[in-house]
Structure 1
Amino acid sequence: MFLPSFDFFLAAVPAVVLVGLSKGGLGGALALMGVPLMALVVGPVEAAAIFLPILIMMDLVALWAWRKHNDRRTLMMILPGGIVGIALGWATSAMVSADALRVVIALATILFALRYFHQKWRKPDARDTPPAPHRPAAAGFWGMLSGYASFVAHAGGPPFQIYVMPMRLDPRAYTGASVRFFALVNAVKVVPYVALGAFDGRNLTASATLLPVAFLATMAGAALVRRMRIELFYPLMYALALAAGLKLLWDGLA
């Protein structure tokens, strides 16, 4: 039976804590650190495979924590594209470079976040522009890119943010919709991951040893978001989106 080494836990526990805080509601930038951190001690593909059961556990905890909060229309708009993106990721997994995808998503996310901070700098005392409406074409595109990036690189957060954050939902509704979207995306990903042979006894044992950390970190993230004012929530989310874009760009170019 495979037992993870002490060196494995030195990298894996901080990785799971960061992803758990993100799953609890603190945004995708923290989650992007998870697989690269774990990849310090196992291969990148193995790290992604170890993380998927952990992500599903985190999704269950987050769904319970945010069970009373959601934006149903947002979820219904973006989810079909997410499912299509997973299917495309499965179909093209051997043909498309994950690094190239990271660079494309990174550039879009960095421009998206910089535009927000530029507007805030130019008009610091003015009221924000009106919330963006739902846009079916944009929802389909960014949802598809989110599902695709989630399948090939566990990096679906930034495309989701690009579509949803301009609508300026209540932080709890935003988080509830995000939690539900990625819970469904990760559940669907199980089928192609199994078909590709990503799960074995070694990976599943490593995942199981990290589940208690995943539970505690996700609950901590949810508790922090519940206490956060909207005036702080969205600047923090845009800052984390910028950090996510820079991290993706670094990974893709490196």
Structure 2
Amino acid sequence: MMTDPIFYAAAIPAVIMVGLSKGGFGGAMALMGVPLMALTISPVQAAAILLPILIVMDIVSLWTWRSHSDTRTLTVMVPGALIGIAIGWATAAWVTAPMIRLVVGAVALWFVWRYVVQRLADARNGGERQPHGHNTTRGMFWGTLAGFTSFVSHAGGPPYQIYALPLRQDPKTYTGTSVRFFAIINAIKLVPYFALGQFDATNLSTSLALAPLAPVATLAGAYIVRRMKPDVFYPFMYFMVLLAALKLIWDGAVHLMA
């Protein structure tokens, strides 16, 4: 088990922020986990330590949001996610996490910009844009990207949100569906992570030491989301996507320039 107190000074806030996100708070906080822990250890080891903790958070979130989900979203996105994980596994030796973060961050930034432009147009026209319907091709594409980026750097949130947020589901339905989607992804990721040798005794024991924080932070995030109205929830979620996009672009650019 890791014993360096400096590591835990970074890891404990990281786990808390990821837990709040897993509870339904969404956005940039989930992306802070690996970078914060990577201040003291390698990003690869940070991702390996965090994955079992994510599984614990998924279990808590699945129970918390057990009555809320949209089967259609899962039907169109999960097959793509499986393809994305397979691509991530097959290209693990060639594709770098900074490159992926930069690309995903740029796409997410464009997504938020499009949302802002649409809202301004709606305000001028005196109406509100109708929610998007499901589209299998779009769902497969963004599901594949979510699975791939989740495997490479635990950054699958923005691609999922690009497809799911325009559906404008009830906040509880949106959260419960995203919880199921990423629970499936994280469970499947265990197999290639084991195959790549990421789960040694040190990493697993460190995950176990940090795991008690997972349910507390996750339940706190769920408590907040349950009390948010849609007209507050959706602008907040787009703002969190903006923060996530900026964080991904910053991380990717800094590492690539270095």
Counterpart secondary structure, 1:244: helix
Work out whether 1:183 is the aligned partner of 2:187: no
The one-letter amino acid paired with 1:110 is L
- Residues of 1 paired with 2:84 and 2:253: CA distance? 23
- Residues of 2 paired with 1:114 and 1:203: CA distance? 39
1:115-170 Cα deviation digits (max 9, x unpaired) = 11222234437332111011111101100000000000100000000001001001
1:13-58 Cα deviation digits (max 9, x unpaired) = 1000110000000113110011000111111110000000000000
- Residues of 1 paired with 2:12 and 2:32: CA distance? 12
Q: What pairs with 1:108-119 in structure 2 (closer than 5 Å)? A: 108-119=107-118
The one-letter amino acid paired with 1:8 is F
**Residue 3 of structure 1, CA deviation:** 4.4
Residue equivalent to 2:70: 71
- Residues of 2 paired with 1:189 and 1:106: CA distance? 22
Work out whether 1:233 is the aligned partner of 2:233: yes
The one-letter amino acid paired with 1:124 is A
Residue equivalent to 2:47: 48
The one-letter amino acid paired with 2:151 is F
- Residues of 2 paired with 1:122 and 1:98: CA distance? 36
> In structure 2, do the counterparts of structure 1 residues 139 and 251 end up closer, same or farther at CA, with 3 Å as the change threshold?
same
* TM-score, with length taken from structure 1: 0.97
Q: What pairs with 1:1-254 in structure 2 (closer than 5 Å)? A: 2-124=1-123, 126-254=126-254
**Residue 114 of structure 1, CA deviation:** 1.4
- Residues of 2 paired with 1:247 and 1:214: CA distance? 23
User: Which structure 2 segments of 5+ residues have no match?
Assistant: none
- Residues of 2 paired with 1:119 and 1:95: CA distance? 38
- Residues of 2 paired with 1:113 and 1:31: CA distance? 18
> In structure 2, do the counterparts of structure 1 residues 17 and 127 end up closer, same or farther at CA, with 3 Å as the change threshold?
farther
1:181-213 Cα deviation digits (max 9, x unpaired) = 000000000000000000011001111111111
User: Which structure 1 segments of 5+ residues have no match?
Assistant: none
- Residues of 2 paired with 1:180 and 1:4: CA distance? 34
- Residues of 1 paired with 2:33 and 2:232: CA distance? 25
- Residues of 2 paired with 1:212 and 1:127: CA distance? 47
* TM-score, with length taken from structure 2: 0.96
- Residues of 2 paired with 1:220 and 1:162: CA distance? 25
Counterpart secondary structure, 1:243: helix
**Residue 96 of structure 1, CA deviation:** 1.4
**Is the contact made by 2:27 and 2:243 (CA closer than 8 Å) also made in structure 1?**
no
Counterpart secondary structure, 1:124: helix
Give the aligned length: 253
- Residues of 2 paired with 1:197 and 1:3: CA distance? 18
**Is the contact made by 2:172 and 2:226 (CA closer than 8 Å) also made in structure 1?**
yes
- Residues of 2 paired with 1:64 and 1:95: CA distance? 37
**Residue 243 of structure 1, CA deviation:** 0.6
- Residues of 2 paired with 1:98 and 1:212: CA distance? 28
- Residues of 2 paired with 1:139 and 1:40: CA distance? 35
- Residues of 1 paired with 2:22 and 2:113: CA distance? 24
**Residue 175 of structure 1, CA deviation:** 0.4
- Residues of 2 paired with 1:175 and 1:158: CA distance? 14
List structure 1 segments (4+ residues) > 6 angstroms apart after TM superposition. Answer: none
